Chains A and B, each alone.
Chain A
Amino acid sequence: EIVLTQSPGTLSLSPGERATLSCRATQSVRSNFLAWYQQRPGQAPRLLLYGASTRTTGIPDRFSGSGSGTDFTLTISRLEPEDFAVYYCHQYGNSPQTFGQGTKVDIK
């Protein structure tokens, strides 16, 4: 199974700053079938991006995704107060589909 490793574990930033989150896979993710989710405390995850870089309807354009193969990145260009949350990457190109362990973005 593909193991996804997210880094850093915690990212401490201020509102308005840029956040860069990494997701690395132990083998190539087929067709870049890689998604990113945001999870706020006590809530279900919310799909932000799929196919490594396609934003879901309603997701602000400050969220962007890039990468291919084994290395993927989620970038939040300017952090808004509601962006402080945990972010998970998810590969769905190889069975079984798997998630990263999460990166927490908290307020500095």
Chain B
Amino acid sequence: QVQLQESGPGLVKPSETLSLTCTVSGGSITSPNYYWSWIRQPPGKGLEWIGTIYYTGSTYYNPSLKSPVTISVDTSKNQFSLKLASVTGADTAVYFCARVAWWNSAGGSFEIWGQGTMLTVSS
């Protein structure tokens, strides 16, 4: 059974770069059927799609995000990562990684989720 697990620092200072990693277990990140995504949820609020990556390195980002975003994949470690630059308090949220079963060029439903990791931006 495929499982996803996020990891990160928990606390980041304003203007710094946020870095999170999602480790995939129970299956290969190079499986041709799947795409891999990051979604976040500010405390007490709704969900926001950040971006998606395919194992070949193709990426899709949400243009509505204010902070520059980079998603990368490390197939040797079965991981993918998120970097969010110049963070502000508005980036404080629970960050989820998720697997997408089928990508239709605009998006896909998130069928498996990690448990989420809380990231706080504060000095």
Contact = CB atoms under 8 A, between A and B. Distances in A.
Nearest to A47: B111
For B49, B60, B62, B110, the residue with the greatest tally of chain A CB atoms inside 10 Å of its CB is: B110
A interface SS class? loop
Determine the interface band of chain B, counting residues with CB < 8 A from chain A.
20 to 34
B111 A99 contact: no
B interface SS class? loop
29 contacts: A33-B104, A35-B109, A35-B110, A44-B113, A45-B47, A46-B113, A47-B109, A50-B111, A88-B47, A90-B47, A91-B107, A92-B104, A92-B106, A92-B107, A92-B109, A93-B106, A93-B107, A94-B107, A95-B60, A95-B106, A95-B107, A96-B49, A96-B63, A96-B64, A96-B107, A99-B46, A99-B48, A99-B49, A101-B46
Interface of A: 1, 30-31, 33, 35, 37, 43-47, 50, 56, 88, 90-102
